[in-house]
Amino acid sequence: MAGKEQRKADVKSPIMTHRLPRFRKDLQLFCGPEEADGAPTYNLYDPVSVKYYQVSWEESLIFKHLQPGLTGEQLISAIARVSPMRITDRQLEQFFDDAKRLHLLEVPVTSEEIGSEAERQAVNPVKWLMSNYLYFRIPLINPNLFLEKTLCFVKPLVSRFAVTAYAVLTILGLFQLVARFDEFIYTFPYFYSIQGLFLYAMAITCTKVIHEFAHAYTAKYYKVQVPTMGIAFLVMWPVLYTDVTDAWKLQKRRQRLAITVAGVASELVLAGLSTLGWALCTPGILQSVFFIVASASWISTLVVNLNPAMRFDGYYLLSDLWGVDNLQSRAFSVARWKLRQLFLGIDVPPPERIITESRVWGMVAYSIYTWVYRVFLYTAIALIIYFKFTKVLGVFLFFVEIVVFLGWPIVSELKQLAQLQPYINKNVRLSLTAFCASIVVFWFIIPLPHTMSFVAVTVPQQQQVLYVPHNAIVEKLYAHRGSHVKAGDLLVTLRSPELASEIATTLADRRIVEKEIFILGAAADESRAFLPEKKAELTALEARMEGLVRLQDRLKIYATIDGTVYTLQETLREGLSIAKDTVIGKIASMEELEIVCFVPETLVASMKYGQQIAFHIHDTVEDVTGHVVRIDPTRSSLLPYPQLGSVNHGDLPVVEGPSQEQLILVESYYAVRIHIDKKSAYPLRIGQSGVVVVEGPWRSRLVVFARFVNSILIRESSF
C-alpha cells in the first residue's frame, strides 16, 4: 500500500515536464497599488480585448520569468532563485489554464478547437437580452486629442486658490440654504409642469456633461488615455459615461481616487455656487436658473452618484477607499461565503486571502444593501413602465427581473452548494437553519386558523335625519341638542318667502285660468275649442299647488321616532337662512345601537350570517360582542362615516368627492351590520370607532398568495 502511494506521489503534472507556451508579445504588465497587507499587485493589459486583468505577485513572477523552452519545473526553480515565493505545480497549471481561456498565450489551435470555442462563447439571444438590458453602452466620441489640447485651460480651475474659493462659497451657500430651507423646498411645486421638467432635463444634462469632463480631465492630468465618451443605458434610462479604464495603469490608489472623486466634486462645486447664487438673487429668471441647477446637482450627487449600490462614482469611491479592486464581485463572494458559514456551517477558507473581520461584515452589509436596492430599483422602473407606458414591456421586465434576481442566483447557489457538498456536514447551524426554514415553509403552506380584523363604527339602528326641504328661514326652534323627543313632536318651524311667493303666483294663475274656462264655457262660437287645453292647464296648476302646499307643510319638521337629538347644527338659530337639503340635525335612540364594519371584497366571502364577533373600541380596554345580521349585497361606493376615512387619519382609503362632505372609497368594501349582544354591559355611544375581530376559516397563505396573484393577472390582462 505504501509503495502505491509513493508511486502516485512521484507522478508529476504534465505541465512540469513539458515545455510551457509563451505569452503573447503585445501583452503589457503594469504595477498596481499595494494590497492591504502590503503585497504588490499587477495589472495585465490585453490590447486586443481592451481589458485589464489583475494578477497576484506570484502570477506576475510567472509572467516575468517565463522564457522560451522552459518546462514548469525549470520555471519554478528560476523563480525560487530570485524570489522567496514558492509556487506549486497546481498554481502554475491553474494560471496557464486561465491564460489559455482568456486567449493570452501563443498556442496553435485547430479548427475544431476554434469551432468549440465559438460555440462556448455563443450566447442565446434571449439570455443576452436578459443580461444586457439592465446596462449597455453606446460610444459617441473620442475626446483624447481635445482633452490634451484644452487641459492647460482647465488646470487653473483646480488650483489651490480656486479650490479654497469653491469651499468658502459653498459653505456660505449651505448656510443660506439651512436658513431658508423651507423657501427652497416650497419652490419645487412651481416647476411641476412640462416646462419645468424640460428645464430640469436640460440642467441635469449640462451638469452631467461637466461631471464627465471632470473625470476625463483628471484622467488626462495623470496621463491616462480617454478613448471614448458616450451614453450608457441603465434599464433603458440614458446616462453619460467616460471610459477611464486605463486608470488601471496607475500605481497609486490616491490617483485613481482623484479620478473617481472628480465628477462628484465638480457637481458639489456647481451645487454650492448655484445655491449661493439662488440665495443672493432676487426672484426672477436668474434665481430660477440657479435653483434648478442647485437642486438638480444636489439630488443627482447625493441620491445617484454617491450611491455605492450602482456602478457610479460612489461604487468606485468605496472601492478605492477600501483598496479592493473589483469590489462588487469580490464583496458578493465574501458575502456568500460568510452567509454559508453562518447558516450552513460550511467551514472553507475565505475567498480573500487576508481580510479582517470588520471588512468581512462591511462587505456583507454592502452586498445585502446592493441586492435589496437593485430589486427595488428595477421593480420600480418596471412598475412605472407598466402603468405609464406599455403593459407588455412592463410584464416582460417583471419576468426578466424574476429570472435575473431570483432564478439565476438560486440556480447558481445550488451549483455552488453541489461543489461544496464534501464540506457540508451535520452541525448545529445547519440543523437550526433547516429547522427554521421548515417552520417558515409549514407556516406558509399548511392551513392554519387565523383572525380577521376590520374597521368599524357604532351607529343607531334607527335614526331620523333632519334636513331642510326648501330654501328657508328658521322661524322657531322647539328642541336643542340632547333633547329627548317622541314621535310627533314639533322640532323646527321654517318659513320660505320664496315658496310663499311661488304659492301666491300659482294661486293667481289658477284663478285666471278658472275665469278663462268660465268665459269659454259661456261662449257659443268656435273659441270653445280652446276649452280642453285650458282645463288641462288648470289640472296642472292644481297639481303644482298641491305639491307646493305639501312642501310648505314640510317646513314644520316633526320627530318621526322616539329618541334623542344627538346632532344639531351649532349655528342654528331663529332668523338664520338655510339652503335646500341642508342637514340640520339627527335623532336616534341611544339605547338601540349596532355596529357597521367594512370588509374588503377579497374577504367578504368569509363573513357569515350569525357569525360571532368581538368589537375592540379605540382608546379603551373594553370589548363588545355581537353577531352578523346583514351583509350588503353590493359594495359601498361612499363612506358615510368620515372618522373612518384616510383623510381624517382613519384606516379606509378614500378621496374627497365633488362635495366636501362626500368621501369616495378607493377600494372595494362591503358594509356588514352587527347586532350587539344584550349581555354586553359597556355603554356605547354613537360614532365610537374600533376594530371588529372575527375568527376566520383555516387557510393556507400559499393559497391566499396564489389567489392574489391570479386576481392581479385577471384584472391586468385587459391589454
Neighbours of 638 (CB within 10 A): 10
Per-residue model confidence (pLDDT) at position 235: 60
pLDDT at 44 over 60: yes
**For the purposes of burial, counting CB atoms within 10 Å of the CB of 532, is it exposed (0-12), middle (13-18) or buried (19 or more)?**
exposed
Which of the four pLDDT bands, split at 50, 70 and 90, describes residue 513? Answer: confident
pLDDT at 651 over 60: yes
Residue corresponding to grid cell 481561456: 101
Per-residue model confidence (pLDDT) at position 107: 64
Where do the domains of the chain lie, and which CATH numbers do they carry?
13-122 (no CATH), 128-322 (no CATH), 327-425 (no CATH), 455-461+591-715 (2.40.30.170), 463-583 (no CATH)
Q: For residue 639, what are the contacts with CB-CB under 8 A and spacing of at least 6?
A: 598, 645, 652, 654, 663, 664, 665
Cell numbers standing for residue 507: 294661486
Residue corresponding to grid cell 435653483: 291
Which of the four pLDDT bands, split at 50, 70 and 90, describes residue 718? Answer: low
Threshold 0.75, pTM exceeds: no
Three-class DSSP labels, 73-115: HHHHHHHHHHCCCCCCHHHHHHHHHHHHHCCCEECCCCHHHHH
Q: Are 456 and 596 in contact (CB under 8 A)?
A: yes
Q: Where are the beta strands (DSSP E) in 589-688?
A: 593-600, 612-617, 623-631, 636-638, 654-656, 663-676
Torsion of CA 621, 626, 630, 636, to 10 degrees: 0
Q: Residue count of the chain, please give it.
A: 719
pLDDT at 329 over 70: yes
Query: What is the rounded end-to-end Cα distance, in angstroms, of the chain?
Result: 74
Q: For residue 438, what are the contacts with CB-CB under 8 A and spacing of at least 6?
A: none
Give 389's Cβ-side CA count (13 Å radius). Answer: 12
Neighbours of 535 (CB within 10 A): 14
Q: 122 in the Ramachandran plot: left (φ > 0), alpha (ψ -120 to 50) or beta?
A: beta
706 sits in which H/E element: helix 701-715
Instruction: Pick the closest to residue 599 from 665, 680, 688 (CA basis).
Output: 665
- Mean pLDDT over 208-228 rounds to 89
Three-class DSSP labels, 281-324: CCCCHHHHHHHHHHHHHHHHHHHHHCCCCCCCHHHHHHHHHHCC
Q: Where are the alpha helices (DSSP H) in 155-284?
A: 160-179, 181-186, 194-221, 253-280
Per-residue model confidence (pLDDT) at position 5: 39
Phi, psi of 518 (to 5 degrees): -60, -45
Report which listed range, 154-168, 378-392, 462-476, is most confident: 154-168
Which of 472-487 are b and which e, b meaning 16 or more Cβ less than 10 Å from the residue's Cβ?
bebeeeebeeebebee
Which of the four pLDDT bands, split at 50, 70 and 90, describes residue 198? Answer: confident
Which of the four pLDDT bands, split at 50, 70 and 90, describes residue 217? Answer: very high
Which of the four pLDDT bands, split at 50, 70 and 90, describes residue 13? Answer: low
Q: Are 196 and 113 in contact (CB under 8 A)?
A: no
pLDDT at 7 over 50: no
Rg for the chain (alpha carbons), in Å?
41
Neighbours of 335 (CB within 10 A): 21
Phi, psi of 693 (to 5 degrees): -110, 130
Neighbours of 549 (CB within 10 A): 13
Residue corresponding to grid cell 460555440: 119
Q: Are 500 and 522 in contact (CB under 8 A)?
A: no
3-state secondary structure of 586: strand
Which of the four pLDDT bands, split at 50, 70 and 90, describes residue 435? Answer: very high
- Mean pLDDT over 90-99 rounds to 79
Alpha-carbon distance of 556 to 558, in angstroms, equals 6
Alpha-carbon distance of 103 to 304, in angstroms, equals 37
